[in-house]
Amino acid sequence: MAVITGKAQGKIILFGEHAVVYGQPAIAMPVAKVKATSHVFPDFESSSSKIRIQALDIGTDTFLSELEPEHPLAAAVNLTLAELQLEHIPAFQVQISSNIPISAGMGSGAAISAAIIRGVSAFLGRPLPDSTVSALTYEVEKIHHGNPSGIDNNVITYGKPVYYQKEQALQFLQIEKETHWVIADTGEKTPTYETVSDLGKRHADDPRYYDEVFLKIGRIAQKARQALIEADTNTLGRLLNENQVLLSELDLSCASLDRLIQTALDAGAEGAKLSGGGRGGNMIALASPSKMDAVEKALYNAGAVNVISTKLAREPQT
């Protein structure tokens, strides 16, 4: 039996992180330059139904039965098996690799889960549709984040830019003209569940104040939707900066993020903000093609540990 591969891209949130958890809209896009991959193949040396999981990037090499059920890798496999409801499970191995930065706002957890679900279901002869992959990935996201918004599993599974709002129909953005983006990693890691949990506690103490800030962020995402479709970079840049001010008010920025954001602006970016959980991780900047190299170089010089250039382009017509 051949080796079966499952893949999923990373993602970056452009507008609306954190507020999306509280019912406001958010916009995210896939990032093809980073991805998670699973390789699934028979294990002829193990007894029937034995499943070995290898994720050497994080030092994991063990059998599924030896992992706690709430371990994210185990949960992704177990949810897939429960969904398939097969009478017989052959022994197999799952090897997982990823170049998506961990705890940096690029969806590493969701991408790894989606890659596992795709690889395992295809290996067992029942490849799951994207809607099911997204739903199962969301269940694993609850382990990672406690109270996930639902945006990561959708943009990562479908690999398309999305306008997402809880309990609303998922909208894929039909991009008319491309925009160019630079993503820079501070090198500081704060797990998303920590910032989500902390903000949740503060929201519980003062819901009126925080709901008002979330509403302002949601309005920014609403305005950004059409500007992104049309590549109205002047409006997008202004909205990015406004979103960052509000995220800073929520105590989600930090010195390293502030430094990289200001560096990008000084180098000619039209707007910049943190992306994801905050207090470290990544920032994102919008720049014209002529400014991309200057922004990238400036960010490295300012201490970014990694810089990724990407673009949001019109989907090819089929």
How does the average pLDDT of the chain come out, rounded?
94
Task: Say if CB 6 and CB 40 are below 8 A apart.
Answer: yes
Residue 48 lies in a domain: yes
In a domain, 78, yes or no: yes
Q: In terms of domains, do 191 and 285 share one? A: yes
> What's the CA gap between 299 and 293, in Å, rounded?
10
Determine, yes or no, domain membership for 299.
Answer: yes
Residue 143 shares a structural domain with residue 225: no
pLDDT of 270 above 90: yes
| Interval 102-125: pLDDT, tens | 878 899 999 999 999 999 999 999
Is 35 in contact with 49 (CB distance < 8 Å)?
no
Q: Which residue has the higher pLDDT, 145 or 168?
A: 168
Together in a domain, 89 and 194:
no
Task: State the Cα–Cα distance between residues 28 and 11, nearest whole angstrom.
Answer: 7
Of 108, 130, 164, the position where a domain reaches its end is 164
- Specify whether 13 is located in the same domain as 144: yes
With cut-offs at 50, 70 and 90, classify the pLDDT of residue 149: confident
My answer on whether 110 and 189 are in the same domain is: no
Residue range(s) defining the domain that contains residue 234: 175-312
**pLDDT grade for 147, boundaries at 50, 70 and 90:** confident
pLDDT for residue 44? 83
Nearest partner of 284 among 247, 316, 313, judged by Cα: 247
Q: Is pLDDT larger for residue 294 or for residue 189?
A: 294
Query: Residue 247 and residue 278: Cα distance in Å, rounded?
Result: 8
Q: Is residue 317 part of a domain?
A: no
Q: Which amino acid is at 223?
A: K
Query: Out of 61, 130, 152, 293, which one is annotated catalytic?
Result: 152
Q: Do 195 and 156 belong to one domain?
A: no
- Per the model's pLDDT, the better-predicted residue between 74 and 192 turns out to be 74
pTM score: 0.91
Name, in order, each residue with C-beta under 8 angstroms of 294's C-beta and a sequence gap of 6 or more. 267, 268
Let me know whether 21 and 124 are in one domain: yes
How many domains in the chain? Answer: 2
Give the per-residue pLDDT at 318. Answer: 41
Residue 111, amino acid: A
Q: pLDDT of 36-70, one tens digit each?
A: 999 999 988 877 779 999 998 888 999 999 999 99
Nearest-5° angle of CA 131, CA 163, CA 312?
A: 100
Active site residue 152: yes
CATH number of the domain that 54 lies in? 3.30.230.10
pLDDT tens track for 201-251:
999 999 999 999 999 999 999 999 999 999 999 999 999 999 999 999 999
Would you state the pLDDT for residue 191?
84
Among candidate residues 141, 164, 187, the one where a domain is terminated: 164
Which is nearest to 16 in space by CA: 181, 161, 209?
161
CATH number of 189's domain:
3.30.70.890
